[in-house]
Structure 1
Amino acid sequence: MLAIFFKTLPFFLLIGLGYWAGRTRFFSEEATAYLTKFVFYFALSAMLFRFSANLSLADVWDGRLVAAYLWGTAFVYGIATIVGFLRGLDVPTTAIEAQCAAIGNTGFLGVPMLTLLLGAEAIGPVLLALAVDLIVFSSLIVILITGARDGQISLRMIRSIALGLVRNPMIVAISLGFICAGFALPIPEPINDFLGILGGAATPGALFAIGASLAFKSAERIEVAGWLSFCKLVLHPALVGIAALYIFDVDPFKAGVIIAVSALPVAGNVFILAQHYGVAPARVSTAILFSTALSIVTVSLVIAGVTGG
């Protein structure tokens, strides 16, 4: 366990460094926003493209894995939804809380960290889990919030969801990479080197950006943040683990990877959605702050568990 902790510690130290830079205003909120944009649209996209371009879709696709991850994620989503309704929350606020409980920071934290810690074989399962989050649950929250406000599912809503998916650079990068792999399109060496250099900035840039953005988030409803952090860091990996190992009989290594993915803290894009729709953004920011701080220990515990220490 201690060895795993020391392996994950550098990643969280980078987050801590970013938090210090933001807290001391050495990095302004505007600078953090631009760094995040650079990572999201350029560095991380280059990394994801290189990963997927060197994998065939046939090698990556695993229906059992997708079913297990979808089942476990939907289950914790449902638990958070029921608890939200029991507390008398409206549909948009309940949907935002459920998103916090079920969607982890796979893009900015999971892709760079887990592929380094668990090896190249982890790339495929991580990409599949990321695709489920982006395609299924990012669409679901838009449907729930917009449908609750408009009273119906409209063509405008469907168009908005479709455009959001098409414009997401992570989805575009993964799709283009699989197209190149599927048609065996060679990547010229200078371009491959360029993508390698650019993608190399994704890990430190993403982790620093996570920390810096946390410094500008306010805290409220601490008890709710604690509940959502418990859902994300404990319930989510437990339910995905049950689904993967006991229901869908996923390959043990792949099961370990998606369990580790499920143990990641609340995703930063949930705050962007909450802010965009004006639904409890301060509550989401507190959940992100709490879950990220607690994940320093919990992620190490989960990775130690799935790798046998």
Structure 2
Amino acid sequence: MFAILGITFPIYAALGLGYFLVWKGVFRQQDIKSLGAFVFNVALPGLIFTTLAQRDPVEVFQAAYVLPYLIGGLLNIAVCFVLFSLRGFDPMRRAVGIMGSTCPNNGFVGYPVMLLAFPEIAGVVLTLNLVVETLILIPICLMLMEAASADSAQPLGYRLRRILWNVLKMPTMMALMTGLAIAVLHLPIPAPVFRFTDMVAASAGAVSLVVIGGSLAGLPLRGNKSLAALATLGKLVIHPAIVALVAAGFAVTGLLDISPDIRTALILSAAMPMFATYTIFAQAKGHEGAASLASLSATILAYFTLNGLLWLLT
């Protein structure tokens, strides 16, 4: 148990530090946003570029990881669609709840956890998580939100194309495509370049946790408690359970050779709390209160669920 706390305690200590610094006024919310922009636009892209450019693409894009994570995420969207519909939520609240239940914070929280639990594969796991989430899961959730926006003056098709274009312009996606091109073409990159990107990437873990902790200090905590509770349940329990079942199905049938470390990384990745920009997307649709409640609740409760999963799986 002490070995497990050795993984989760530093993570939550850094989160608590970020919260404390904002609460005491050492950092302002604008400072936290600037640090978050650095992680999202510089550190994480540097990490993805380094991971891809220095490895064979076959080594990185492992079907044993991508397929269970992708299928588990899609099934989670379907299951949560039914659950939120049965609870009587309108289409927009349902879409906000599905996004919170499906899109984990693997960039800011998941990567530091993997770095401590599985340092050898942490970069690969982060890259594969962001590929599946950024290219498929998040766009689907955004499309559900756009489809629920009946009052928009713009055609739905135009809004969906804009979502896909914005995804492709993200720094993480540009780093992914650049790193992949270098790996496929076997382009020689000078060693000082990799040392620079390694140095930038090394800052991602600690800074990202301080950012998440600091951002929690300024969240508005008034909203639909029922929506927030169900989204928290979906993110911390339903999503990892579905991914675990999918991985077990592939392993039992022999379709994929899933190692114990990959299985654990899959389930832990799905068990992370909501991604950092969840409240921003929800705010644009008028539901930032429920999203904030869900994010805070999931981040706090994840301390216990992650400890439990690490105890069961490792």
Q: Same fold (TM over 0.5)?
A: yes
- 1:250 positional shift: 4.6
Structure 1 letter corresponding to 2:134:
L
State the alpha-carbon separation in 2 of the partners of residues 9 and 89 from structure 1: 36
Q: Specify the alignment match of 2:288 in structure 1.
A: 281
Please, which of 196, 199, 220 is the counterpart of residue 197 of structure 1?
Answer: 199
Residue matched to 1:128 = 128
**Contact 1:217–1:285 (8 Å) recurs in 2:** yes
Task: Report the alpha carbon displacement of residue 145 of structure 1 after superposing the two structures with TM.
Answer: 2.0
AA aligned to 1:225 is A
Give the distance between the partners of 1:148 and 1:58, measured in 2 at CA.
39
Verify the 8 A CA contact 2:231 2:294 in the aligned structure 1.
yes
Alpha-carbon distance between aligned partners in 2 of 1:183 and 1:82, rounded to the nearest angstrom: 45
CA separation in 2, counterparts of 1:12 and 1:145? 31
In the alignment, which residue of structure 2 is the partner of 1:4?
4
Structure 1 counterpart of 2:277: 269
Q: Kindly state the Cα deviation for residue 147 of structure 1 after the two structures are TM-superposed.
A: 2.3
Paired residue for 2:265? Answer: 257
Alignment map for 1:217-228 (pairs within 5 Å): 217-220=219-222, 221-228=224-231
Instruction: Measure how far apart 1:16 and its partner are.
Output: 0.5
Say whether 1:294 aligns with 2:301: yes
Q: Is the CA contact 1:147–1:153 (under 8 Å) kept in the aligned structure 2? A: no
* Residues 171-190 of structure 1 aligned to structure 2 (within 5 Å): 171-190=173-192
Deviations 1:105-127 (A, max 9, x none): 01111123313321223433442
Paired residues of 1:19 and 1:213 also in contact (CA < 8 A): yes
Q: Using the TM superposition, give the Cα deviation of residue 60 of structure 1 relative to its aligned residue in structure 2, in angstroms.
A: 2.0
The superposition leaves residues 159-205 of structure 1 with CA deviations (integer Å, 9 ceiling, x where unpaired) of 31222112211122122112111112232222222212211211111
How far, CA to CA, are the matches of 1:108 and 1:250 in structure 2?
29
1:254 is aligned with what amino acid?
Answer: I
4+ runs of 1 displaced by more than 6 Å? none
Q: Mind listing any 5+ residue stretches in structure 1 that lack a counterpart?
A: none
Amino acid in the other structure paired with 2:185: F
CA distance in 1, matches of 2:98, 2:245: 20
1:170 to 169, 172, 181: 172
Q: Which amino acid aligns with 2:292?
A: S
How far apart in 2 are the matches of 1:186 and 1:113?
Answer: 32
* Aligned residues: CA RMSD: 2.0
Deviation at 1:64, TM superposition (A): 4.5
TM-score normalised to the size of structure 1? 0.91
Cα distance in structure 2, aligned partners of 1:249 and 1:62 = 10
Alignment correspondent of 2:241: 238
Distance 1:150 1:287 in 2: 25
Deviation at 1:34, TM superposition (A): 1.0
Cα displacement (A) at 1:223: 4.2
Q: Secondary structure at the match of 2:186?
A: coil
Q: CA deviation at 1:224?
A: 3.4
State the AA in 2 paired with 1:293.
Answer: I
TM-score normalised per structure 2: 0.90
Greater mean alpha carbon deviation, residues 102-111 or residues 224-233: 224-233
Judging changes above 3 Å, is the alpha-carbon distance between structure 1 residues 259 and 118 closer, same or farther for their aligned structure 2 residues?
same
- Of 221-230 and 237-246, more deviation after overlay is shown by 221-230
Aligned partners of 2:287, 2:257: CA distance in 1, in Å?
Answer: 37
Number of aligned residues: 306
Give 1:249 deviation, angstroms: 4.1
Counterparts of 2:72 and 2:297, CA distance in 1: 22
Distance across 2 between alignment mates of 1:153 and 1:255: 42
The residue type equivalent to 1:177 in the other structure is: G
